[in-house]
Amino acid sequence: MMAAMMTNAMAAPATMATDKEQASFFEYYSGSHATGGLLRPQFAVTTIKGKRRVTATVDGPAQRATLPLCRQPRTVFDYDPKAPKDKRWSERAPQQLVWVHHQTQCGAQPDTPIRLLAPLPEMEILMLIQQHPTLLNNARLLMAGNTSCAPSRSRGYRLTGLNRAKDGLPVLVFENAIQEEARIAVRRSRNELVAWSADCTSAEASRQGNR
C-alpha cells in the first residue's frame, strides 16, 4: 500500500511534500503509533520567512457528541530535515475538530471543520457554532473601533476555531481570504449570546501563531 502511494515518476512541486518526506513519515508513524484503521495523512508545505515547512495531519474517526454536534481527534506532525533520521517528525499536542451534522451518524468531515482550541461545554460549543453568523455581524461595530480590525472589518470571514479568553469568555476565531484572524469574545446576556470584544491579527502573525 505504502509503495503504491509513494510511486511518482515526477519530482514533487515545491508546494508538495516530496516522496522522500512522505516515506519518512510513514516509517515514523508505523513505528510509533497503533496501525489500526486506514492511515490517510494530509501533507502540507508552507514557506515562512523563506523557510520551507512540512507538516502531516492525521484525523481519527468522527464521534457523535451532544446532538447534532460531532467531534473528531486530529494530530499534526512537524518535519525537521536536519534532525537524526529517527527524530525528524515531532507530534504536536492533540487537537479536536467539531461541526454540526443533523443526522444520527456524523459521516464524513465537512470541508471546513472547526478547531476546538480550548475545553468548552458541548452545549456552549453548539450554541456558538449555530449563532456565529449573527455574532460576527454584531461584532462589525466593535471591529470598526479597533485599530487592528478596522482595515478588514468588511471582509468575509469563516469560522475556523473556538477558544477561551484569559478572562474565561468563549472566543470565536474567524479567518478571511488572506488568512487574517478576527477573534470575537462572547458573553451571555440573560438568555442570549452577545459579541463583547474584538481583536484581529495580520496574515503573517496568524501564520506564526499557528505553528
Residue 92 and residue 114 in contact, taking contact as beta carbons nearer than 8 Å? no
What pLDDT digit, counting tens, does each position of 23-44 carry?
Answer: 999 999 888 776 554 468 999 9
- Domains by residue range for the chain, with CATH: 2-58+75-93 (no CATH), 117-209 (3.10.450)
The average confidence (pLDDT) of the chain is 87
For 17, 93, 179, the CA distances from 204, given in Å and listed in that order, are: 22, 22, 8
Q: What is the mean pLDDT of residues 166-171?
A: 96
pTM value is 0.80
What pLDDT digit, counting tens, does each position of 88-125 carry?
Answer: 999 999 999 999 999 888 988 899 899 999 999 999 99
C-alpha grid cell, residue 165: 479568553
From start to end of 18-94, where are the E strands?
Answer: 42-48, 51-59, 63-64, 69-79, 89-91
